[in-house]
Amino acid sequence: MQPVQTPSLLVAAGDNDLPPFTPGAIFTQLHLTSLVALIMLLAVALYGYGVYRLRLRGDRWPVGRTVAFVAGGLGSIAAVTVTGIEAYDDTLLSVHMVQHMVLSMVGPIFLALGAPVTLALRTLHGTSRKSLLAALHSAPVRVLTFPLVAFGFFVATPFILYFTGLYRLTLEHAWVHELTHVHFIVVGCLFFWPLLGLDPLPNRWPYPARALLMVLSVPFHTVLGLTIMQSKTLLGGDYYPNLHLSWVNPFDDQVTAGGILWAGGEIVSVTMLGILVLQWIKQSEREARRIDRALDRAEAQEAARLRATNVTPAPANAPLPDSE
């Protein structure tokens, strides 16, 4: 049976000495025509236009949010979809796993830190703004962004992908491959966006619950990574052996891929947990300042009321009069 002729297989069939993957390959093989690349161009254009509109009317938008969205979010996604990472992601499982981690975790976290929904709400007016608000509070969005639903999609997706025939389809069909990339990004956004809570999405949970949900995701990465590392069966069946690459052993590469998934998942999860803790601390400080201001206002109003009635307020620690 002849292997399906994907771009990688076509190269392998014509030249069994396909160059080994090196850091230099990341910068020498660009793929600017993918679906994800087009979506990113549209996203950066819309975000930039929103910031421009705010500045035109004299409003400010935090530079950090712009950097997070463009450089951290779109930049990290571009780094694994339009470079040599994309060229080798159907040749080496380890390279694919790096791409998986970035698309489903790193990129979505930075996109959420950019607060694009908040930017859109501050930029849009009239019918457009009402339509966006209606969409945000619609039943489908409420269901999909409910943390437990998003958590289910997030932890189940890799198990379904790698332990069914779906992964082989992504290797053999370019359109399935592209849709999988989009799916990774969407599922990551559904999970991390409500957890970070910078945008006015429905189903905003308190910080302790968000942190707990993040902690609960860690064992799934560990189990999946260890399972892939210890598996005696290659993911994708005979796809990788049929590439006949002399410079890589598919089983060794699969062990590396499992380790990347395991370690990468834990590193990103711990980092995300740290972000949530910092947000929690800042929220507590803001709440404490709000309460202090409310108490100060109440005290000032009471003092003004007493002055208006020509009554001098008693000192807080004044002794009580002796009773006869």
Within a domain: 2: no
Residue for token pair 């404490």: 288
Within a domain: 313: no
State yes or no: pLDDT of 161 exceeds 90: yes
Residues spanned by the domain of 128: 16-308
Q: pTM value?
A: 0.82
Within a domain: 1: no
CB–CB of 256/94 below 8 Å?
Answer: yes
pLDDT in tens, 116-129: 999 999 999 889 99
Residue for token pair 């002796």: 322
pLDDT in tens, 238-273: 999 998 888 889 999 999 999 999 999 999 999 999
Within a domain: 41: yes
pLDDT, greater one: 297 or 187: 187
pLDDT, greater one: 311 or 298: 298
Q: Which residues contact 30 (CB under 8 A, 6 or more apart)?
A: 82, 83
Identify the CA nearest to 260 among candidates 112, 92, 110, 108.
Answer: 92
Angstrom distance (rounded) from CA 220 to CA 265: 9
The pLDDT of residue 290 is 81
Q: What percent of the chain has pLDDT over 70?
A: 89
Q: What is the mean pLDDT of the chain?
A: 86
Within a domain: 8: no
Give the number of domains in the chain: 1
**Class of residue 161 by CB neighbours under 10 A (exposed 0-12, middle 13-18, buried 19+):** middle
Within a domain: 6: no
State yes or no: pLDDT of 287 exceeds 60: yes
